[in-house]
Amino acid sequence: MSNNIYLKQGLNIPINGAADQTTKKVIVPDIVAVKPTDFRGFIPKLLVREGDKVLAGTPILADKMSQSVVLTSPVSGTVAEVVRGEKRKLLEVRIKADEKQEYVDFGVKKVADLSKDEIKDAILKAGLWPAIVQRPYGIIANPEISPKAIFVSAFNTAPLAANAEFAFRDDFEHIQTAVNALGKLTPGGVHFSLNEENYSGSPFHKIENVIQHTFSGKHPAGNVGVQISHISPIKKGETVWTVSLLMLAAIGKLFNTGKFDASRKVAITGPKAIGPCYVDAIEGMSIRDLKGFFNEDENLRFISGDPLTGKNVGKDGFLGFFDNQVTILEEGNKFEMFGWAKPVRCSQFSSSRTYFSWLTPKKKYDMDTNLHGGERAFVLNDVYGKVLPMDIFPVFLLKACLAGDIDKMEKYGIYEVLEEDFALCEYVCPSKIEIQQIISDGIALMMKEMC
C-alpha cells in the first residue's frame, strides 16, 4: 500500500437521498439517445438516417476532425429521430430499441496477445474511444499520441455518488482486463487512486498492473483532477488520459465478450427520489423510464450525474454517456421572505457558520436548487481555497478566464483543471457566480487559440 495523501481542503455536502445498496428494477428502454453534446470538441458527422436498422455497436456518429473516432448505438433497433437545435446543431440521435437485443460481434480478444495498435483499433471500432478523456481541456483522447500516464479514480466523493464497490461488484474481471489493455498505451503506467478509509474493504486494491495511490479527506478527494495535481501535476506541453471505472468496465467487456455492452447500474438519488436505490439500465436511457421514482405532479429538476456537476436534462431527457447516477431535486423557485437574513433557518445547511447547521454535523438536508440570492460583485476572498485542494490560485485563474488573458490562464493553472474541479467553489461562492461556466469558457478559448 502506498503512502496516503491527506487533503485538508474540501467539503462534504449533507444532502438527503443517497441510494440504498439494492437493485430494485431492470429498465428495458423503449427509446435511447446518443448525444454528441456529452463530448467536448466532438464535431459530429451523421452516419445513419431515420428509419435505418442498427445493432448494438453500429457506428452512429463520427468526429469530423478524426473520423476513426465514432459513437456507436447502445442498443439494436431503428433510428427514430435525429434531433437538431439552433443552426441545425446535432443534439441527439434517438433509437427505438428492439425487444430482443442483437450485437455487432467484435470478437473476443486476449489482451496479452495484442499490440498497442491492435488495442487502439479495437476500442476505436467499438465506439469506446470517447470513454478516454484527455487533459488538458477534457477532450476525447487523441489516438495518435501516447500520454504521460493514465489516471483512474476508483472512488467518488461527489454528493450522493454511486457506491463503486456496489455498482461495479460484478465487473472486477472486466476492469482488470481494461487496465491491462490501457497499460500498453502509455509509458507512464496506469495510476489507480483508492479511498484510504475503505482500502482493505474494497476489491479494487487487488487490481494488478497499476501504480496505487490512496487519498483521504472530504470531497473533491475523489476527483481525478485533484488526484493528478498531487501525483504528477500537468505542465505545459504534457498530456495525460483519464478513464472512469464505468468506462473501464465497458472497455473490459469489449475484450472479454466481443460486444459493446452499454449496460450499467444507475443510482437513483436525491431528496425528491421515491425510494432511492439502484436500477439496471443502459447508456442513453430516457428519464421517463424512471416513472415511479418521482412524483409527476411536482416541479422537479432531473440531473444526469451528481448535483454539483451533472447536466439538467429535464423529464424528457436522457442519461449521459459518462453517468451512472440520476439526481432528482425540487426546483428552488419559491419566494423566501427575508431570504438569507431570516434570523433562524434550521432547515438550511451553511458551509460557513452563518446558520446553526454546524451544531448538527450528522444531519442531512432536503436541498433544492434555490440560489438564496442573486449575483453580486466578484471580490477577492479565501472561500475557494478552503474547498479546492489544488496548488493553484482559483480567484486569479477565474479572473484571467473572464479577461481572456491566455498568459495568465497558463500561469494560474488552466492546464490542470476542468469544470468539475471548481464545482465546490461555485457551491460556496458568496457572489453566486457560475464558476464552472467561466472555466468552461476559458478552456474553450484555450482550445481555439492554442490547438
**For the chain, what are the domain ranges?**
4-257, 333-364, 384-450
The structure's pTM equals: 0.94
Question: Residue 307: is the preceding peptide bond cis (ω within 30°)?
Answer: no
Would you call 2 exposed, middle or buried from its count of C-beta atoms within 10 A (0-12, 13-18, 19+)?
middle
Q: What is the pLDDT along the chain (451 residues), one digit of tens a residue?
A: 457 999 999 999 999 999 999 999 999 999 999 999 999 999 999 999 999 999 999 999 999 999 999 999 999 999 999 999 999 999 999 999 999 999 999 999 999 999 999 999 999 999 999 999 999 999 999 999 999 999 999 999 999 999 999 999 999 999 999 999 999 999 999 999 999 998 988 899 999 999 999 999 999 999 999 999 999 999 999 999 999 999 999 999 999 999 999 999 999 999 999 999 999 999 999 999 999 999 998 999 999 999 999 999 999 999 999 999 999 999 987 766 666 666 566 677 877 777 766 667 788 999 999 887 788 888 878 899 999 999 999 999 999 999 999 999 999 999 999 999 999 999 999 899 999 999 999 999 999 998 6
Round to whole Å and give the CA distance between 437 and 444. 10
Average pLDDT over the chain, rounded to whole? 94
What are 84's three cell numbers?
437538431
181 within 8 A of 117, measured Cβ to Cβ: no
pLDDT of the residue at 300: 96
3-state secondary structure of 256: helix
Q: Is 292 left (phi over 0), alpha (psi -120 to 50) or beta?
A: left
Round to whole Å and give the CA distance between 296 and 299. 8
Round to whole Å and give the CA distance between 9 and 11. 7
pLDDT of the residue at 341: 62
- Residues 185-210 have pLDDT tens digits of 999 999 999 999 989 888 999 999 99
Lay out the sheet containing 4-7: strands in order across.
Answer: 4-7, 211-217, 190-195, 150-153, 240-242, 133-135, 139-140
Round to whole Å and give the CA distance between 127 and 73. 8
